[in-house]
Amino acid sequence: MDIITSTTSQVNGITTTTPRKKDIDPKENLWSAILSEVQTQSSTKLPSNKSVLVLGDNASGKTTLIAKLQGVEDPKKGSGLEYAYIDVRDEYRDDLTRLGVWILDGDPGHINLLKYALNESNYAHTLVILTLSMTTPWSWVDQLQHWIKMLDDHIAGLKIEPEERHQCRQRLVAVWQSYCDTIDELDPGSPIKRTNRLSSVDDDLDALPLPEGVLTTNLGLDVVVVVTKTDYMTTLEKELDYRDEHFDFMQQWIRRFCLVYGSSLFYTSVKEDKNCDLLYKYLTHRIYGLPFRTPALIVEKDAVLIPAGWDNMKKINILYENMQSCKPDDYYNDIIAQPPSRKTVSNREIEVQTEEEQAFLNRQLQLLQQGQTPTRGESPMRSQNSAGKTSPRTPGSAGAQGSPKKVDGKLNPGTPSGEGVLANFFNSLLHKKSGSPAAASLAGTGVSPRATNGGDMVSASEKISMRTDAAMELDRLTRSVKKDLDFPAQTDC
């Protein structure tokens, strides 16, 4: 039975008596504390002023990664400074909020937009994600140095109160000093346990010193380095002969970089859905204090997960054992060098350079003045159609149109071409005597009339044969000329 005592007090001349228990049951006191904490936490909602800033070069997978965290199947890439949000739910508080996400374009011309995503008002409530792509591991050094320097310069230009800046830096130090791998006896997601852990962190802020090389550059911002597209590792092995020691060298280098800035490290693959869900949970853990129960993962080379506070140089040294052909202190790009660029084979046809018109005409004029027959260069279309042509063509004064070859006025019946047939036909029409004026006119051309049995007339059968041959030859020449005129643009280059 509890002994009841009373306490007497006097306020403004009025005496009051308050009964109290002399001995309070410890169990009852514990439950009272639990109920008090539950009541306090139930009135607390998830803050709505938190945000994430995503930085990285173009094609590093920023938009695709955030779309995966949102649950969007078909991401749409914008330009400049993009804004999105991620729905965050606290199962214990039954509360829902939106986490704002800013995605800065990798083009250096858009750096001036950073002031809208990170400024004095949201500096203490922003987490930064630095993205790298496994498709270009030889550019990691340049990319990380570029974005960290840009971020450091931007923060230095912000007009932040010294006290606020100091608190943000001390918060990062506390993460490393208080990190613990042990699992809580109570549910780590419990608001009561979470609050007790956070309060104990503040009480023991200077309990442990920082490990060697940790937070030598403290930006006051939570930084998460995310390596995207780790499924490309198999391609690096097949095409560039990457081995395990190459990936170990890359991992130890980037882990040492993360130590300097107190960053976390995630290897992700949206294509194979590796570590994407864990990255979402870790972001809500670092921003809202929600539970994150997954320990560090370093066994699978394409799914590395290292939370802030876990890593140190001793753990990184384990990777050195598998590195035979390189040393940890070697320059990064001497080991992970950019491969030579591959020249793409073009299937385009060779471009034909046309000759200047006046130069072409002058050359043809010189040939004509010298008494030579102008020749033309071979073209693909002419070579294809040469089998179906029987009469050659020479360039005329019209240039590109061209014309069939003119029949020479001096015809020789003995020539093997069809022009001799025409000559014989016209000679047969001249049935006058050799002494006639017509015969005399033919003497000047070198054509002599044919005679039968020493006479000056041509027989009827020979006339019929000549006319038939002449008709056939004229018909063939007509078809040949028509064929040449049908394709003037294709054959004349």
**Gyration radius of the chain over CA positions:** 47
What pLDDT, on the 0 to 100 scale, is given for residue 430? 59
Q: What single-letter DSSP state applies at residue 289? A: -
What pLDDT, on the 0 to 100 scale, is given for residue 33? 77
pLDDT in tens, 393-427: 444 444 444 444 444 444 444 444 555 666 666 66
- To the nearest 10 degrees (0 to 180), the angle between helices 140-156 and 244-261 is 10
Report the length, in residues, of the chain: 493
**Backbone CA torsion sign across 348, 349, 350, 353:** negative
What pLDDT, on the 0 to 100 scale, is given for residue 450? 46
What pLDDT, on the 0 to 100 scale, is given for residue 475? 77
Distance CA 58, CA 55 (A): 9
What pLDDT, on the 0 to 100 scale, is given for residue 79? 84
What pLDDT, on the 0 to 100 scale, is given for residue 214? 93
Q: Six-digit token pair at 32?
A: 């009272």
Helix/strand/coil percentages in the chain, nearest 5: 45, 15, 45
Distance CA 236, CA 243 (A): 9
Nearest to 259 by CA among 321, 306, 322, 209: 306
What pLDDT, on the 0 to 100 scale, is given for residue 211? 86
Q: Six-digit token pair at 371?
A: 């008494």
Nearest to 144 by CA among 156, 128, 126, 160: 128
pLDDT in tens, 281-327: 999 999 999 999 999 999 999 999 999 999 999 999 999 988 888 99
Distance CA 316, CA 253 (A): 9
- Residue 169's contacts (CB-CB under 8 Å, 6 or more residues apart) are 218, 220
- To the nearest 10 degrees (0 to 180), the angle between helices 276-288 and 62-70 is 80
Residue 84 and residue 36 in contact, taking contact as beta carbons nearer than 8 Å: no
Distance CA 232, CA 239 (A): 11
pLDDT mean values, one per 10 residues, the chain (493 residues): 48 48 57 71 77 95 94 85 93 87 94 95 96 97 96 95 94 90 47 39 58 92 97 96 95 96 97 95 94 93 95 94 90 94 56 83 87 57 47 43 42 49 63 47 46 49 69 76 58 46
Q: 81-90 and 51-55 as β-strands: parallel, antiparallel, unpaired?
A: unpaired
pLDDT in tens, 338-368: 998 755 444 556 677 788 888 888 888 888 8
Give the dihedral of Cα atoms 90, 262, 151, 137; nearest 10 deg: -100
What pLDDT, on the 0 to 100 scale, is given for residue 209? 84
Question: What letter represents residue 202's amino acid?
Answer: D
What pLDDT, on the 0 to 100 scale, is given for residue 126? 97
Write phi, then psi, for 51 (nearest 5 degrees).
-150, 165
What pLDDT, on the 0 to 100 scale, is given for residue 353? 79
Write phi, then psi, for 399 (nearest 5 degrees).
80, -110
